[in-house]
Each structure stands twice: as structure tokens, then as C-alpha cells.
Structure 1
């Protein structure tokens, strides 16, 4: 296995929030290429989108996926130059601020509030969580992130039509999606792929 420059203190057990809903355990393979994530020598990302049922307060998973870095790079390379430029500017303005850096280094629970707006998770009806992982561990630091649907919407507005079409194709490759949710994916796309 390839040697990585991660500090031992940056690894944590994978939180249950990132477990795959279908088997209630950590993701074992990339949703797209089926690469084994546990034995692979590369990092991977997991994104999960949640919606709270206002009638009973129950958290429901809208979609989830694990993507290896090789597949993630392919998806990033498929994005238009316009989308990449827009997202880069947005992230520089919103993600790389002092508070986010402070939280990344302080051990503050990243699932308490949106990393950009600061809205408390208990006040959100929809949100996404994104984490970075290596083998069977989560890499802590700037990840994990919790992002409100408001931020997801802002990021979606930055995408060119070409990139939106790519993301639509991307969403169609996620397995085990109930047919009734397919319509939802025309407006709700992954955030940080």
C-alpha cells in the first residue's frame, strides 16, 4: 500500500452518519467504479443528503454515494471551465475563512451547524454531509462538512448547463435509488464532486 503523509492524529473511526443506509455499515466500494475502498491506496469522499420530515422530525436519506479519488478527478475533469472558475471563486469567498479553519483544528463537532452559514442543524430541513476517508477511517481536518440546502442551491446556480448535464448523468449512476426520487435529482445534485 502506498505511503501517505497523513498525521496519525487526523484519523478517526467513521461516524455512523456516513454509513451506507442499505447495509448499515461503512461503504466498501466506490459507487461508480466498484473499486474496493478499504484496500485501495487512495482516499475517497462520501456525500449524503438528508431531508427532515416536518411531520415527525425523522431524518430521511435522499441520496448517498462514495466516490474514489480516481472517479472524482474524472468528474472534475468533465466540468466546464466556467463551472470550475465559478466554484473556485465561491469556495475562496465562503469555505476558506478563518472560522472554518479554526473549526477544522479545534475538534468542534462538524455536524452541529452549516460550515458556511452557521445555521444550526436542528433548524435545517435539508442538508448534506461530506467527508474524506482513507481505508476504514475518516480523515479529520477541513472535513467533515455539513452544508445546508441553501449552500447546495447556491453552488448549483454556479454550474454551467454542460456541467449540470454531467451531474444528471452522474446521479443516474447511483445505485438503489427509489424511482420516486429520480425526479428530485433533476433539481438536487451532489455538492462537492
Structure 2
């Protein structure tokens, strides 16, 4: 779909600031893995952000964030163990119908991004009651697309998934952090201990 049609389609909006890169305060410009330019075409990609809030402060920490094109995302998914892929799929399929949610959310809230991210996808816990969570968006070029995403997942759900992943998958995810987040060892450990999951 070209840009002129997207402007008039309720399923598309310009990428909202909540999914901007924290460091630049602008939309992500390239894929974390292959460095493909994301905004210059209709390249499909996913944005993932992990956020931590502090009970006595209004400030939030962006623990990790990145954009990854669908080709690299698929390659990453394929590197996970079959056990872990089946576990993740079963976990979501048993708890939420993403397409039904999409239709319901578009009907009731349209493209109000806050409404899509205000409750945990799995437990419906309000984001105001959650200290750690991850948010996800599917984008094409400079547009966010309302599909199965966007959604927010609480730390509780993330831990449930992470604790059941196979050792092989945990190693793949640790290697992903090592390779793509140029962090000193103590910060790498902190990031790994956040039990991030890649969807």
C-alpha cells in the first residue's frame, strides 16, 4: 500500500513517539541486524522495547530497544529450538486471539496507541500497575500497522515464558544480546537477567 493510501487507512498511522528510538528521539532508521534502511521504503519490520518503571519516580528506563526487519526476524526465529517455538506459540494461542483482538480494538479505539498498550496482552493488568514490561509494534516504512501488534506484555508473562525456554534458546538469546548490544559485561548481565524474550 502506498503512502497516500496509508494516510487514509485506519489501520495505519505515522509511527508514534512511544516507538521512537530513545537515544535519538526519532524513528528507528535501520535494522539492528542487517542495517537495512527502514524508512526509505515499505520495508516491514518489528520494533521491540523493554521498559522498567520505578515505584517512587515517574521516570522510566528503556532497558533495551531495537527494530528488526522481518527477514532477520524470521532468521532469528528459526534459530530458536523447536521446543521453544512451540512453547511460545502455544502460550499465546491458549491465552489470546490476536486477530479477534485487532478487530475489537480497531472498532472500539481506532488508532489510539495508548489504548492498545494500556493493558497486558495476557493478564490485562494496567500498565500503571506494572514495573517491567515489553512493547511491540509492526511497522512498514514510516508507518505503524495495526495488526496482531501493537501490544504490551507484563514482566509476569515474560518470566512465565522465559522460565520454560530450552537451554538452546536461552543461549541463542544471550548470543543475540552479546552480538548486537555493545555493552560492558556488567550491563550485558543486567540485560540478560531482565529475561527479555524475542517474539
TM-score by length of 2: 0.85
Q: Any stretches of 5+ residues in structure 1 without a counterpart?
A: none
Q: Any stretches of 5+ residues in structure 2 without a counterpart?
A: none
Listed one character per residue, the Cα deviations across residues 75-109 of structure 1 (whole Å, up to 9, x for unaligned) are 01101111111111111111326873423543261
Contact 1:156 1:189 in 2 (8 A): yes
Choose from 162, 167, 178 the match for 1:161.
Answer: 167
Contact 2:63 2:191 in 1 (8 A): no
Please name the residue that 2:105 is paired with: 103
Q: How many residues align?
A: 192
CA distance in 2, matches of 1:178, 1:21: 19
Alignment of 1:35-114 (within 5 A): 35-96=36-97, 100-101=101-102, 102-103=104-105, 105-107=107-109, 109-114=115-120
CA distance in 1, matches of 2:116, 2:71: 26
CA distance in 2, matches of 1:141, 1:82: 26
Give the direction of change, closer, same or farther, for the CA distance of 1:157–1:105 in structure 2 (3 Å limit). farther
Please name the residue that 1:150 is paired with: 156
Give the secondary structure class of the aligned counterpart of 1:122.
helix
TM-score by length of 1: 0.88
